[in-house]
């Protein structure tokens, strides 16, 4: 944590802080897309004041419609080593648009417009004030950089500028402070497990393996979203220190150890618009195959298992009504002390290729996933080969970088070495040859920064720390694409940074099986038993444990009752199977819009509702379903419904929002409400698995629909087949795309034949 101030009046101990005080000179670019501000750190009243005087250069650039970048620089001669974010991966939007890059001068100051967003520099040169506002309505302020909001700092504080001739004993920081309006809330910054609204929190963006119950995070993303309809992307792969309304209650302070700091101000005005523009900057998610939405079962972390164990699990799941789509072999498919050497433990798996082939042929699962990471243990078959060829990260003295944390003598694949990458991909292809279809890319957070020498000597070790997760997941994802096709690749990643959404999926990290941890995971998902219900209302669902098997019959001595684990799992798996026509159609919208599919914040759908920006115990599944997990053993749950009519998925009871409600549920239900004006397409009751035809024998359910309400019909690979639309007479048109014996339910779905549920309104 880096704090520059000691309260309002004092500088923090051992710091010297310099602020941009004036805008001495404004220089427009020749293309009229940028302004460069020369900003001394004291008021310039005479020419003599320009001597022995630090300056901060603030560069403003119109990037594309609705986005303006701000870069503050102290010493421009400092190297700007990589790695850098891979921005605009699909290409930069057309810069020739007339509305992008216009500069005007007037009584209010100098204004740079970039489509919907503009920034105005105050006309008084002795007033440092940059106001970001709607280009169409300058009175609609987005945010601002006001008095003493940009600058740099040294620690320890030099007593004379002469000391800065040798910077080896000084740390140098750049900072920017955007204004927080009254009542404004801040969300994002990756996967964070505390309160969803980050105002009042200090956040360090530095990937760490800290579980899901601390201020550390596996997925640190330097992007945050404001309830005022804008977002900020911080363009550095290095460590970022955030003070979100904490050091100064009315500001978000961003600090980096560097000579420059660049961020993008991204306008909405709706949060979905912000996320769409963020996706232009950092990339959109790719499609994932329909089989990946099915139920995943794992061997769990430290358990003992072999082919017989695996078969017994999969047979038991099938026989209890919860067939598995993807089976996952966790760590001990390899021998102890040998991770990751890509070699199946020959004692337990003497014929891995044959075993995987038999699993698929028997129908016990459709696909197989195995656990990997980029850490190479000294005692595994891969280490000596990789070390001898320079594929592992080295220390500055030429030794292989090793430690005994996690694996004895562990080395790290040097992803800056093209030959190392090619070798690693070759190892992955060996797994694909054995029948492996997907990979869990675990770890990738503990990347050293001290006493290291990367193959690419031009990279900054500090910046490699977070960036490693991007390259690691990219390498594996692209290997899967090359083998199975561009839209058949699935990774199950734990670490991530900005841009990793291009390589789906991400899982939530190592959590405990407690109600509190369930809440942490919901908050973590909002920011990137009861667990079964919540998990199967996520886009992707896996049963996983640590030192115990996670099959339901071992939890409750195979209780066959309606409230037993096996029946509970079967009911929720069946519900997700039925929802797949809706989920797959929503997935296509999510990819196109750069927005989450499940664990979608309610505020993304209802940004005008102030309460929605504080809801971190419930979420949207797509745009039309709202879910509230149950955290209490009693089954009691409080939840909020925004304005409109909402229908219980389980009972068809209708509630009107906005308002708070309380219900008591057993294990077979939770508050799952359908938004009004919804056309919900459900698969046939009793369908097994997720790989069926999403247009055949479906039920089309209408929920308080008005003319024009519609739903997309897609194939089980996400291809658009057509659209169902409610006409002026309340009838559904477009049904020619449907097959078989489809039905239309005009007042919610048919609940005849459902398993009984117990929902008590309190």
With a cut of 80, say whether residue 529 has pLDDT above it: no
- 366 contacts 325 by C-beta, under 8 angstroms: yes
Tell me the mean pLDDT in the region 281-305.
89
- Mean of the pLDDT values across residues 57-64? 97
* Span of 346-350, 516-520, 538-542 with lowest mean pLDDT: 538-542
Under the banding of pLDDT at 50, 70 and 90, the label for residue 568 is confident
pLDDT, tens digit (0-9, with 9 covering 90-100), for 344-378: 999 999 999 999 999 999 999 999 999 999 999 99
Sign of CA dihedral 457, 463, 469, 475: negative
pTM higher than 0.85, yes or no?
A: yes
**Residues 6+ away with beta carbon under 8 Å from 685:** 578, 699, 753
Q: How confident is the model at residue 531 (pLDDT cuts 50, 70, 90)?
A: very low
- C-beta of residue 73 within 8 angstroms of C-beta of residue 151: no
Spell out the SS3 assignment of 631-665.
CCCCCEEEEEEEEEEEEECCCCCEEEEEEEEEEEE
Q: How far apart are CA 724 and CA 204, in angstroms?
A: 47
Q: Binning pLDDT at 50, 70 and 90, where does residue 553 land?
A: confident
What is the architecture, at CATH level 2, of domain 5-77+97-282? Sandwich (2.60)
Residues 6+ apart with CB under 8 A from 648: 654, 655, 671, 672, 673, 674, 759
Q: What is the pLDDT of residue 242?
A: 97
pLDDT tens-digit profile of 183-211? 999 999 998 888 999 999 999 999 999 88
Topology agreement, domain 5-77+97-282 and domain 588-761: yes
The arrangement of secondary structure in 588-761, i.e. its CATH architecture, is: Sandwich (2.60)
| pLDDT for residue 391 is more than 60 | yes
Please write down the HEC assignment for all residues of 373-397: CCEECCCCCCHHHHHHCCCECECCC
- Tell me what the mean pLDDT of segment 423-442 comes to: 97
Cite the active site residues.
Answer: 442, 445, 510
Q: What does the pLDDT average to over 496-506?
A: 92
Q: Is residue 500 a contact partner of residue 473, using CB atoms and an 8 Å limit?
A: yes
Does 505 sit behind a cis peptide bond, omega within 30 degrees of 0 on the bond before it?
yes
Q: Are 167 and 153 in contact (CB under 8 A)?
A: no
| pLDDT, average across residues 657-681 | 96
Residue range 425-440: mean pLDDT, rounded: 98
Three-state secondary structure call for residue 523 = helix
Q: What tens digit of pLDDT does each residue of 62-75 get?
A: 999 999 999 999 99
Please state the domain extents for the chain.
5-77+97-282, 290-374+418-507, 588-761
pLDDT computed for residue 569 by the predictor: 85
Mean pLDDT of 444-452: 96
CATH superfamily ID and name for 290-374+418-507: Glycosidases (3.20.20.80)
Q: What is the end-to-end Cα distance of the chain in Å, rounded?
A: 45
**pLDDT for position 193:** 85
DSSP string, 210-241: -TTSSS--SB--SEEEETTSEEEEE--SS-EE
720-726: strand order across its sheet: 710-714, 720-726, 732-733
Neighbours of 382 (CB within 10 A): 23
Instruction: Write down the number of H helices and E strands in the chain.
Output: 10, 40
What is the β-pairing status of strands 109-114 and 117-121? antiparallel
């Amino acid at each position: 944590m880096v704090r520059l101030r000691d309260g309002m009046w004092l500088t923090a101990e051992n710091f010297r802080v310099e602020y941009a005080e004036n805008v001495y000179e404004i220089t427009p670019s020749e293309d009229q897309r940028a302004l460069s501000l020369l900003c001394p750190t004291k008021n310039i009243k005479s020419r003599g004041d320009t001597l022995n005087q630090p300056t901060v250069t603030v560069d403003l650039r119109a990037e594309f419609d609705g986005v303006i970048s701000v870069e503050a620089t102290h010493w421009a001669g400092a190297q700007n080593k990589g790695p850098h974010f891979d921005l605009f991966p699909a290409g930069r939007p057309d810069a020739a648009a007339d509305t992008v890059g216009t500069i005007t001068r007037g009584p209010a100051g100098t204004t740079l417009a970039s489509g919907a967003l503009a920034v105005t520099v105050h006309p008084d040169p002795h007033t440092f004030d940059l106001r970001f506002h709607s280009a169409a309505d300058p009175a609609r302020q987005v945010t601002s950089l006001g008095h003493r909001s940009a600058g740099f700092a040294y620690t320890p504080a030099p007593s004379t500028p002469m000391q800065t001739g040798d910077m080896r004993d000084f740390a140098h920081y750049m900072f920017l402070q955007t204004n927080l309006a009254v009542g404004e809330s801040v969300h994002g910054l990756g996967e964070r497990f505390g309160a969803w609204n980050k105002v009042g929190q200090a956040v360090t963006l530095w990937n760490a393996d800290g579980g899901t119950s601390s201020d550390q995070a596996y997925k640190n993303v330097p992007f945050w979203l404001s309830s005022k309809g804008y977002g900020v992307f911080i363009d550095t792969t290095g460590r970022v220190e955030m003070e979100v309304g904490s050091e100064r209650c009315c500001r978000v302070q961003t600090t980096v150890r560097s000579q420059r700091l660049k961020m993008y101000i991204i306008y909405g005005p709706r949060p979905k618009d912000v996320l769409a523009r963020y996706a232009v900057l950092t990339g959109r998610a790719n499609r994932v195959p329909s089989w990946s939405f099915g139920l995943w079962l794992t061997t769990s972390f430290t358990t003992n298992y072999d082919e017989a164990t695996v078969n017994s699990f999969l047979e038991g799941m099938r026989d209890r009504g919860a067939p598995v789509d993807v089976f996952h072999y966790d760590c001990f498919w390899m021998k102890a002390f040998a991770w990751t050497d890509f070699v199946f433990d020959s004692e337990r798996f003497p014929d891995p290729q044959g075993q995987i082939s038999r699993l698929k042929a028997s129908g016990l699962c459709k696909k197989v996933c195995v656990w990997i990471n980029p850490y190479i243990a000294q005692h595994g078959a891969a280490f000596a080969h990789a070390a001898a060829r320079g594929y592992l990260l080295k220390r500055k003295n030429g030794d292989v970088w090793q430690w005994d944390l996690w694996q004895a003598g562990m080395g790290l694949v040097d992803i800056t070495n093209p030959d190392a990458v090619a070798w690693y991909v070759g190892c992955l292809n060996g797994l694909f040859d054995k029948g492996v279809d997907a990979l869990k890319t675990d770890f990738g957070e503990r990347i050293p920064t001290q006493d290291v020498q990367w193959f690419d000597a031009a990279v900054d070790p500090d910046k490699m720390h977070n960036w490693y997760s991007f390259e690691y997941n990219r390498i594996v994802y692209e290997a899967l694409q090359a083998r199975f096709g561009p839209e058949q690749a699935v990774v199950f990643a734990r670490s991530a940074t900005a841009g990793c959404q291009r390589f789906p999926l991400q899982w939530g990290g190592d959590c405990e099986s407690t109600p509190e941890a369930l809440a942490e995971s919901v908050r973590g998902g909002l920011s990137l038993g009861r667990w079964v219900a919540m998990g199967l209302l996520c886009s992707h669902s896996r049963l996983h444990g640590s030192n115990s098997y996670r099959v339901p019959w071992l939890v409750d001595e195979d209780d066959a009752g309606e409230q037993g684990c096996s029946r509970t799992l079967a009911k929720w798996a069946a519900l997700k199977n039925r929802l797949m026509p809706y989920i797959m159609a929503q997935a296509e919208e999510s990819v196109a819009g750069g927005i989450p599919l499940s664990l979608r914040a309610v505020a993304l759908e209802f940004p005008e509702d102030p309460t929605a920006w504080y809801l971190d115990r419930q979420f949207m599944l797509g745009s039309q379903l709202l879910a509230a997990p149950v955290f209490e053993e009693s089954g009691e749950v409080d939840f909020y419904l925004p304005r409109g009519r909402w229908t219980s998925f389980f009972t068809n009871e209708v509630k009107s929002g906005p308002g708070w409600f309380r219900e008591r549920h057993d294990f077979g239900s939770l508050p799952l409400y359908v938004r009004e004006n919804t056309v919900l397409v459900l698969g046939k009751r009793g369908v097994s698995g997720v790989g069926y035809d999403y247009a055949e024998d479906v039920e089309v359910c209408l929920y308080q629909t008005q003319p024009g309400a519609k739903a997309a019909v897609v194939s089980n690979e996400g291809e658009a087949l057509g659209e169902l639309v409610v006409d002026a007479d309340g009838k559904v048109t477009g049904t020619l795309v449907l097959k078989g014996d489809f039905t239309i339910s005009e007042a919610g779905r048919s609940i005849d034949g459902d398993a009984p549920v117990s929902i008590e309104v309190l």
